[in-house]
Structure 1
Amino acid sequence: MNKKSFNKAINFLKKESFYVILFICLCIAVTAAVITARNNKNQSAQLQKSQAVEQKKIRETAKANEKPSSNYNNALQVKKDNKSKSNISNNEASKGVSNSVSTSFQKPVEGNIARGYSEDPVYWDSTATYRPNLGYDIQTPLGKPVFAAMDGKVESVNTATQDGVEVIIDHQNGLKTVYSNLDPNVKVSAGQTIKKGAVIGVVGKSTLRSAYEKYGDHLHFAVLKGKEFVDPGKYIKY
């Protein structure tokens, strides 16, 4: 092979080597991009799963914190052991009373629903936090009369809760109603038996948790069925 032919061969190999190296680089770049995309997809799926778990924890924690008062928390504690015959007798007597009590509610106050019942956390301007609203916030003027939604017995009058001055009425049929953000000058006392429509107080400004909501003055009204809060819309319509 002469020198000229040898030089041509060398130049050909150099040219082809460039394309081979370029092809290998492209393959490496494509492979890296595929691996990166796959990793990003896996990280995104893990992040979404983590966010879902965190949101569930926030919802459960917020719901656990939505209590009418510390006094009422104690009233909700149930002892499952050492049930005596006297408890059975009391339950039977209560059942007899329950059969004679109507489950028809009247509106606790005249007004409009400013914030409805929500078990999912919602944003509150007053505290700049997210938490459920396990009742109705009924927008109404300050000093508006508040009525017992149904016949019952006043279980407690609490004057130092985060929801303000609060009255809880046991209707002796498995239902209880909670009236919060009342004026301190309430018209009823614990242990008092009252009729549906009786005035229990007036709307006040005693709440801490919703004192600065955009909808202003309101009554917070909640319904308990057993130990659980339920949507008041099942019993009253606005």
Structure 2
Amino acid sequence: MNLNKKDKVKDFFRKDGFYLALFLCLCVIATVAIVTTKKNNSLEENNTAQNEFTLNIDEQETSEAKKQNAERVEEDITNELVEAEEEESDLNVSSGTNTEVIFSNPINGVISRGYTYPKPQLMSDGTSRNIRGIDISAAIGSEINAAAVGEVKEVSSKVEEGNYVVIAHANGLYTKYTNLSNDIRVNVGDRVTEETVIGTVGNSSMIFTNDQFGEHVSIEVQDASGKDLDPTAYFTFKED
């Protein structure tokens, strides 16, 4: 009886043991596959999260950089506008300012005819003329500089004044240079300094001619409203 049981057990392991072992191996393989899959999924999730985190940081840094660049550009534009406004205000003569501007003699010479306005002066032909500036004796062709920093407001010609240039200055005053030659070297809108040659002495006035008054340039000074002022209060020319 015992021998039969042992034989049956041996037969079972010989016949069915193979399938049992195969089943156990499959179970082990399946378990390993499941564990490996879970680990891979976990790694992929971690990598995805890390990539998203990195992208978010990059986007934030890029946005911050763009913001800083935009702020710098805006600041530069603002500074340029302020500088332009300051430059414009320096030459604003519409209402006059209290800015102190010292005029330099625009040419070497002496006063050959003084300022008499509003008292008219009798001319050789019997007519009377207002002398609104001072005549500076100077040879034809002598260079004439601007009296101070300013902006050229007018370049033109009239019978009485001949060729002339008008310059606006930061203190609300205008200087006017008449009886110039055709060699005028500035244009309306030009910014000038005491170093700027605006033209040369000529003989273009048809009224105050060089034949009657000698070779000269006439210099006038006006305020912002166009009122004539005595140039000798602003220049240091000596009288002839």
* TM superposition score category, shorter chain reference: 0.5 to 0.7
Provide the TM-score with structure 2 as the length reference: 0.56
Q: Secondary structure at the match of 1:159?
A: strand
Equivalent-residue separation in structure 2 for 1:105 and 1:140 (angstroms):
19
Q: Which residue of 2 is the match for residue 182 of structure 1? A: 180
Q: Do the aligned partners of residues 101 and 185 (structure 1) sit closer, same or farther apart at CA in structure 2, a change above 3 Å counting?
A: farther
Matching residue's letter, 2:166: I
Is this contact kept in 1: 2:203–2:210, CA < 8 A? no
Is this contact kept in 2: 1:106–1:196, CA < 8 A? yes
Is this contact kept in 2: 1:135–1:220, CA < 8 A? yes
Equivalent-residue separation in structure 1 for 2:168 and 2:109 (angstroms):
24
Deviation per CA, 1:24-49, whole angstroms, max 9, x where unpaired? xxxxxxxxxxxxxxxxxxxxxxxxxx
Q: Which residue of 1 is the match for residue 23 of structure 2? A: none
Equivalent-residue separation in structure 2 for 1:212 and 1:129 (angstroms):
18
Equivalent-residue separation in structure 1 for 2:232 and 2:100 (angstroms):
17
Structure 1 residue 162, shift from structure 2 partner: 2.1
Structure 1 residue 161, shift from structure 2 partner: 4.1
- Whether 2:123 is the aligned partner of 1:124: answer yes
Q: Secondary structure at the match of 1:118?
A: coil
Q: Which residue of 2 is the match for residue 152 of structure 1? A: 150
Q: Which residue of 1 is the match for residue 162 of structure 2? A: 164
Equivalent runs, 1:181-200 vs 2, <5 Å: 181-200=179-198
Q: Do the aligned partners of residues 213 and 134 (structure 1) sit closer, same or farther apart at CA in structure 2, a change above 3 Å counting?
A: farther
Q: Do the aligned partners of residues 96 and 182 (structure 1) sit closer, same or farther apart at CA in structure 2, a change above 3 Å counting?
A: closer
Matching residue's letter, 1:237: T
Unmatched segments (≥5 aa) in structure 2: 1-84
Q: Which residue of 2 is the match for residue 207 of structure 1? A: 205
Is this contact kept in 2: 1:168–1:177, CA < 8 A? yes
Deviation per CA, 1:56-98, whole angstroms, max 9, x where unpaired? xxxxxxxxxxxxxxxxxxxxxxxxxxxxxxxxxxx99855556
The one of 216, 219, 230 aligned to 1:218: 216
Percent identity between the aligned chains? 31
Equivalent-residue separation in structure 1 for 2:152 and 2:187 (angstroms):
7
Equivalent-residue separation in structure 2 for 1:104 and 1:186 (angstroms):
24
Q: Do the aligned partners of residues 159 and 96 (structure 1) sit closer, same or farther apart at CA in structure 2, a change above 3 Å counting?
A: closer
Q: Do the aligned partners of residues 100 and 223 (structure 1) sit closer, same or farther apart at CA in structure 2, a change above 3 Å counting?
A: closer
Q: How many residues align?
A: 148
CA RMSD across the alignment: 2.6
Deviation per CA, 1:92-148, whole angstroms, max 9, x where unpaired? 9855556796510111211111110002111223x4311221100111111111110
Matching residue's letter, 1:132: N
Equivalent runs, 1:49-198 vs 2, <5 Å: 95=89, 97=91, 102-119=100-117, 120-125=119-124, 127-198=125-196
Matching residue's letter, 1:175: L
Equivalent-residue separation in structure 1 for 2:228 and 2:144 (angstroms):
20
Q: Do the aligned partners of residues 147 and 93 (structure 1) sit closer, same or farther apart at CA in structure 2, a change above 3 Å counting?
A: closer
Unmatched segments (≥5 aa) in structure 1: 1-90
Equivalent-residue separation in structure 2 for 1:96 and 1:187 (angstroms):
23
Structure showing greater Rg:
2
Structure 1 residue 165, shift from structure 2 partner: 0.4
Equivalent-residue separation in structure 2 for 1:231 and 1:100 (angstroms):
18
Q: Do the aligned partners of residues 113 and 213 (structure 1) sit closer, same or farther apart at CA in structure 2, a change above 3 Å counting?
A: farther
Is this contact kept in 2: 1:159–1:184, CA < 8 A? no
Equivalent-residue separation in structure 2 for 1:128 and 1:212 (angstroms):
18
Equivalent-residue separation in structure 1 for 2:98 and 2:172 (angstroms):
13
